[in-house]
């Protein structure tokens, strides 16, 4: 009897010793704009980026099994909330990523906190996500309105653009961008002499451009994005805004917008981004893979889509280290503990308030004559180091940051 018991214990001990690596199951949801004005900024391209990240990670870590789903928030916070709730409750999603719409992002960050899951926002801009609305379950990747305001806004004021008129998209993102840029302009000696709030997804800006022209401001700040920015600039060219001596400040311009506008119309625009496909060989190589995965001709990845790749990669690393995706707060804490490193954004860190830090680049759109091949959009004018590119930790009013 004792011998049998001894053998049984030995067998059990041996079995424990040779236990195969634990399987970790993760489900990721890409919540994005599939059908409207931001769908080239995020959209199917974000899903493609997530797929690449999952493929790369699971190749090196076969014990992690990742399932991917995607959904269309249609730029409506109520639709986005409903999908987020359903994904967390019914579909058992662990991570929601992307959300290129600040209204949706602000809704999802609250839901994620209450359900203790993880939200990595790559697409939305509002700096409130790491400010007053910061959360221990949320990481703000890629960019935010403060970075845009202090990159583009500051650079323009320093080169003489000291009077501003704002065309602002009338929702969370536009208000945040206008507020942060106004602060940056005034801190650097400029003045804001007028603004007009325009509903999102407006077709025709002629009436607002007329008001901007009448204000005689040197700079017309476009606190909008995607299709709205494209329309503003296109119609501004028609009304002779630039010929009349005023300049546009594209506060949020993506490679997809420059592609749609064409270099002839967009040339000379100053903008700030944190990732450009043509900046180094690693980016170029990844872009080829992304284009194959995306399978739509003539498209180039935006920094939002690169951010989805980078965010998913770091999340999976944290989950693998913890061996479980169940506790959202713990996973985010692990993500903040581990320094980030991926082929696209290089080495970086995530701060206590959830802000991912990496350098920003001041870019200028090339004239058509300077562009040698499709996608050759930008001159890189300056690099803003990571510790200067984003709002100082103490200025954000984030409750997670003590003091």
104, 124, 198, 350: which one contacts other proteins (CB under 8 A)? 198
The kind and range of the H/E element at 382 are strand 378-384
The residue among 331, 386, 330 whose CA lies nearest residue 361 is 386
Tell me how far apart the alpha carbons of residues 30 and 114 are, in angstroms, rounded to a whole number.
19
- The residues in 152-171 that bind other proteins, with binding defined as CB under 8 A, are 170
Q: Which of 196, 326, 338, 357 binds other proteins (CB under 8 A)?
A: 196
Give whichever of 56 and 257 is closer to other proteins, judged by the CB atom: 257
Site string for other proteins, 112-141 (x = CB under 8 A): ------------------------------
List CB contacts of 27: < 8 A, sequence separation 6 or more.
66, 67, 68, 69, 91, 92, 93, 94, 95
* Min CB(246)–other proteins separation in Å: 12
Which of 6, 262, 374, 399 is in the footprint of other proteins by CB under 8 A?
A: 262
Nearer to other proteins, 40 or 180 (CB): 40
CA atoms within 13 Å, Cβ hemisphere of 161: 23
In Å, how far from its chain's centre is CA 95?
15
Min dist CB 373 to other proteins, Å, is: 17
Minimum gap (Å) between residue 393 Cβ and other proteins = 34
Q: State which of positions 5-64 bind other proteins (CB under 8 A).
A: 35-40, 43
**Judging by beta carbons within 10 Å of its beta carbon (0-12, 13-18, 19+), is residue 372 exposed, middle or buried?**
exposed
Which is closer to other proteins, CB of 194 or CB of 359?
194
Q: Choose between 66 and 261: whose C-beta lies nearer to other proteins.
A: 261
Nearer to other proteins, 39 or 101 (CB): 39
Q: How many C-beta neighbours within 10 Å does residue 340 have?
A: 23
DSSP 8-state symbol, 355? B
Measured CA to CA, the distance from residue 96 to residue 123 in angstroms comes to 12
Our finding on whether 369 is near other proteins (CB under 8 A) is no
Nearer to other proteins, 94 or 98 (CB): 98
Q: Is 374 exposed, middle or buried (0-12, 13-18, 19+ CB in 10 A)?
A: exposed
CB atoms within 10 A of CB 62: 10
Q: Which is nearer to other proteins, 197 or 289 (CB)?
A: 197
Give contact residues for other proteins (rule: CB under 8 A): 35-40, 43, 170, 196-199, 201-204, 206-208, 210-211, 213-214, 226-227, 230-231, 234-235, 238-240, 244, 256-257, 259-262, 264-265, 296, 299
């Amino acid at each position: 009897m004792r011998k049998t018991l001894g053998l049984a214990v030995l067998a059990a001990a041996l079995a424990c010793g040779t236990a195969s690596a634990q399987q970790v199951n993760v489900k990721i949801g890409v919540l994005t704009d599939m059908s409207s004005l931001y769908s080239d900024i995020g959209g199917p391209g974000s899903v493609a980026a997530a797929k690449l990240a999952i493929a790369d990670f699971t190749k090196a870590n076969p014990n992690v099994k990742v399932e991917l789903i995607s959904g269309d928030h249609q730029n409506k916070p109520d639709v986005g909330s409903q999908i987020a709730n359903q994904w967390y409750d019914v579909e058992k999603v662990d991570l929601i990523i992307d959300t290129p719409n600040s209204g949706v992002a602000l809704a999802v960050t609250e839901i994620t906190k209450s359900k203790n899951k993880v939200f990595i926002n790559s697409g939305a801009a509002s700096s409130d996500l790491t400010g007053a609305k910061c959360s221990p379950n949320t990481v703000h990747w890629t960019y935010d309105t403060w970075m845009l305001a202090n990159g583009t806004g500051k650079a323009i004021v320093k080169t003489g653009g000291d009077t501003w008129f704002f065309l602002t998209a009338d929702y969370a993102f536009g208000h945040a961008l206008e507020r942060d840029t106004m602060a940056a302009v005034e801190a650097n000696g400029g003045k804001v002499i007028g603004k007009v709030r325009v509903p999102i997804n407006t077709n025709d800006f002629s009436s607002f451009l007329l008001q901007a022209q009448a204000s005689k401001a040197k700079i017309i700040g476009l606190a909008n994005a995607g299709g709205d920015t494209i329309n503003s600039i296109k119609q501004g060219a028609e009304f002779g805004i630039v010929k009349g001596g005023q300049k546009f400040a594209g506060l949020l311009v993506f490679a997809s917008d420059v592609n749609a506008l064409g270099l002839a119309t967009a040339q000379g625009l100053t903008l700030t981004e944190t990732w450009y496909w043509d900046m180094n060989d690693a980016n170029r190589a990844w872009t080829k893979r992304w284009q194959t995965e995306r399978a739509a001709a003539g498209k180039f990845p935006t920094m939002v889509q690169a951010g989805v790749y980078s965010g998913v990669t770091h999340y999976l690393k944290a989950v693998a280290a913890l061996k479980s995706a169940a506790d959202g707060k713990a996973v985010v804490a692990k993500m903040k503990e581990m320094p980030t490193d991926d082929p696209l954004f290089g080495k970086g860190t995530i701060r206590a308030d959830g802000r991912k830090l990496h350098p920003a680049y001041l870019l200028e759109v090339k004239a058509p004559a300077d562009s040698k091949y499709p996608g050759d959009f930008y001159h890189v004018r300056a690099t803003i180091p990571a510790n200067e590119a984003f709002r100082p930790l103490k200025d954000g009013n984030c409750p997670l940051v003590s003091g």
